[in-house]
Amino acid sequence: VQLQASGGGSVQAGGSLRLSCAASGRTFSQYAVGWFRQPPGKEREFVAAISRGGSGRYYTESVKDRFTISRDNYRNTAYLQMNSLKPEDTAVYYCAADRIIMTAEPSRNEYEYDYWGQGTLVTVSS
């Protein structure tokens, strides 16, 4: 599967952005999707993940209640809605896909993900 992330940009603190992750191929529903981010000068970190069917959603603590991950398997697209953005959310955001069985919980470990999008930059100014 090939992934294309988009939707990044520059916003002021408190603003919102929605990232999209478009997947090629017909097997998108066989993959869990994760969003990761890499802040300037730091290592890449887990942000959120969603199960194959979309019922299981997992977040890192710092984005809970502000970010929402979702997916549309008919459109082969996953989303990350980001509200109440903070300067510390500034990072390059990546989407990734991990082929798992239907009942498995998606991983928070980036090394479990086999396919990656190219990244989209989010800049939040104070």
Q: What is the pLDDT of residues 66-111, one digit of tens each?
A: 999 999 999 999 999 999 999 999 999 999 999 988 888 999 999 9
Q: What is the DSSP string of the chain?
A: --EEEE--EEEETT--EEEEEEE-SS-GGGEEEEEEEE-TTS--EEEEEE-SSS--EEE-GGGTTTEEEEEETTTTEEEEEE-S--GGG-EEEEEEEEE--TTPPPPS-GGG--EE---EEEEEE-
Instruction: Check whether 18 has a pLDDT greater than 80.
Output: yes
Share of the chain above pLDDT 70, in %: 100
For 53, the token pair is 């069917």
Residue 25 has a pLDDT of 78
Q: Evaluate whether 56 touches 106 at the Cβ level (below 8 Å).
A: yes
Distance separating alpha carbons of residues 37 and 57, to the nearest angstrom: 17
Instruction: Report strand pairing: 9-12 vs 67-72.
Output: unpaired
